[in-house]
Amino acid sequence: MNEQLLNRVLRQAEALCARRGARLTPQRRRVLELVCRAERPIGAYELLDQVRDGGKAAPPTVYRALDFLLEQGLIHKLETLHAFIGCTHPDHPHSSQFLICADCGKVTELEDAALLGSLHSAAAESGFSPQRPVIEVIGTCARCAHKPDRPAD
């Protein structure tokens, strides 16, 4: 996430939390910023290292911040990677799909209405009420597919 987008996201986050009466404390803001700055999904303990930065902090510090940010829809958790990414459009609540490149590790966030529609139809046939769809696709991104197959490591 580039600097410009990051700033927009942080401002949106502040506005959203203010509107909802949720407290985006410095700690939480810090974690959000770290997640967003990471080019790839980042794990909780990796975040912890960065939050510590010489000082001291324990896992609950990071996990509590992450829980808050997840609740507010400011970040997403990738279940298949046990890692987190910043949401680039937190302005409306949404259920996303993720394309995860097994080669370069980059993740693309989709919000595909047709896909969600299919999912709800399929669930409805079983009388099932979806609450939290988890859709993560491991594969190869366009960039990596075009690369000549591991260019001389």
Partner DNA sequence: ACCAGGAATGTAACGATATAACAGCCCCAA
Partner DNA sequence: TTGGGGCTGTTATATCGTTACATTCCTGGT
What DSSP assignment string belongs to 24-91?
Answer: --HHHHHHHHHHHH-SS-B-HHHHHHHHHTTS---HHHHHHHHHHHHHTTSEEEETTTTEEEE-S-TT
**Closest to a second copy by CB, 114 or 152:** 114
Interaction between residue 75 and a second copy (CB under 8 A): no
- Of 109, 106, 97, give the one whose Cα is nearest residue 142: 106
- Residues 24-63 vs a second copy: string with x where CB under 8 A? ----------------------------------------
Interaction between residue 102 and a second copy (CB under 8 A): yes
141 is in an annotated binding site: yes
For residues 76-95, which are near a second copy according to CB under 8 A?
79-80
Packing angle between helix 44-52 and helix 26-37, nearest 10 degrees? 120
Q: Which residues bind DNA (CB under 7 A)?
A: 22-23, 25-28, 43-46, 56-61, 63-65, 68, 82-83
Give just the sign of the alpha carbon dihedral 33, 77, 5, 69. negative
- The least distance separating DNA from the CB of residue 76, rounded to whole angstroms, comes to 13
Chosen from a second copy, DNA, none, partner binding at 45 (C-beta under 5 to 8 Å by type): DNA
